Amino acid sequence: MDERRKEVFFSGLGSLLQAGLSFSRSFELLTEGEGDRSARRLYGTLYERVIGGETLWQSLAAAPGFSALDAGVVRIGEETGRLDESLQFLSDYYRKQIERRRMVKGAVSYPLVILGAAVAVLVFMLTVIVPMFEQVYGRMGGELPGITRSIIAFSKRFPLLLAVTGGVLLLGSGAVMLWGRNDAFRLFRGRLLLRIPLAGSLLRKNYEVQFCKLLYLLCSSGIPLLKSIAMLEEIITFPPYRFSFRQVARGLQQGELFADNLACFPQLYDRRLVALLRVGEETNRLPEMLRKQGDSLTGELEHRIRQLGNLMEPVLILGIGGIVALVLISMYLPMFKLGGVVG
C-alpha cells in the first residue's frame, strides 16, 4: 500500500471514529468507498482479524503494506485511549511525506537530467574525441602542453576507472544482499548514509522530526519516558536511531538524565534540540518542548529541501560546464600554439 492510500485510510478511519460511528460501520464505509480491489481485500482482512479478537495494531503489523511505524502509532492510541489522535497523526505524517516527496522530486529532477546529459557528453569526449585528437597530435609530432598530456593520460585510464567503479557497485550490492539482515552491517550502513553531504543532513532532520513528534505523542499520553523510548525502538527502525534508543533507555534505568544521554549522540541529535529538551526535562515541560521542536524541525526540513533544489542546479551547471570546458581547451590548446608558430 502506497503512502497516498495510507493517508486516505488513516484519515478516513479517524474521521469516521471521531464522528461516533462504530468500528464495524467505519470499516464498512471505508471498504465501500475504496475503488481498488486489492485495497478492499486488505480492508476486509484487517476487519476479520479485529473481529476475531486481535487489536487493530496487531492486525496492521501482520498485514502486508503497513510498516512498523503504522502499527506502533496505532498501538499507542489503543493503549492510551487516544486512537483518533494517533490516526490523525499518521494521516498528517503521510500527507507531509507525500508533500516532501513531491518537493524533492521537483528540486532534483531537472538537475539530475542536466547531470545525466553532461556525464554522457563527458564520457563521449573522453572515450571518442580525446583519442581522435591524440592520434592527430601524434602524427604532427612536437611536445604537447602539460594540461593536454594530463587529459590524454586520464582518457587512457578512463575505461579502467569505469570498470573499477562498476565492480565496486556490484560488490556493494552483493554485500547488501548478503549481509543486509546483519545488525552490525545495517548500523554501519546507516551511519555511512548520515555522512553523505546534503542527503545525510536531510535524512537526519527527517528522523529528528519523527523522534520529536512520536515522543510527544507518547509523553502527552501519560506513558513513562522509559517505556516511551522502548516503544520508539520498535517504531523508528533506522539502525543508528534504534541503537541510540537502547543506550538512552539503559542510561535512564541507571538514573541518568534524558538530555545527557541524547548528547552522547551528536551525529544524530542537534545541540539545540538537546539543549531545549534539557530545559523541558528540568522544568517538567518535556512534552511541550517536543511538540514545539517537532513543528520547528518540520519547517527547517522543508526549507532545506527547497534550498537543495535552488543550490543543485547552478552548482551542477557550473561544475559540469567547467569540466567540459577544461577538456575542450586542453585539446585545442596545441592548435592555438601551432597557429601562433605558423603566424
Same domain, 60 and 98: no
Residues ≥6 apart with Cβ < 8 Å to 292: 276
Rounded Cα distance, 229 and 244, in Å:
10
Rounded Cα distance, 32 and 11, in Å:
15
User: So what's the pLDDT on residue 343?
Assistant: 43
Same domain, 184 and 56: no
Same domain, 57 and 107: no
Q: Is the CB of residue 95 less than 8 Å from the CB of residue 87?
A: no
Same domain, 62 and 173: no
Rounded Cα distance, 223 and 241, in Å:
20
pLDDT digits (tens, 9 = 90+) for 13-36: 888 888 888 878 888 888 887 777
Of the residues 46, 66, 86, the one at which a domain ends: 66
Same domain, 155 and 226: yes
Domain with 265 in it: 94-343
- Average pLDDT of the segment spanning 40-48: 84
Same domain, 33 and 182: no
pLDDT surpassing 60 at residue 165: yes
Is position 31 within any domain? Answer: yes
Torsion (CA) 299, 301, 305, 308 in degrees, nearest 10: 110
Same domain, 147 and 219: yes
Is position 86 within any domain? Answer: no
pLDDT digits (tens, 9 = 90+) for 234-243: 888 889 999 9
pLDDT digits (tens, 9 = 90+) for 108-140: 777 778 778 878 888 888 888 888 888 877 777
Q: How many domains does the chain have?
A: 2
Same domain, 309 and 208: yes
Is position 87 within any domain? Answer: no
Same domain, 48 and 104: no
Same domain, 44 and 141: no
Same domain, 60 and 108: no
Is position 331 within any domain? Answer: yes
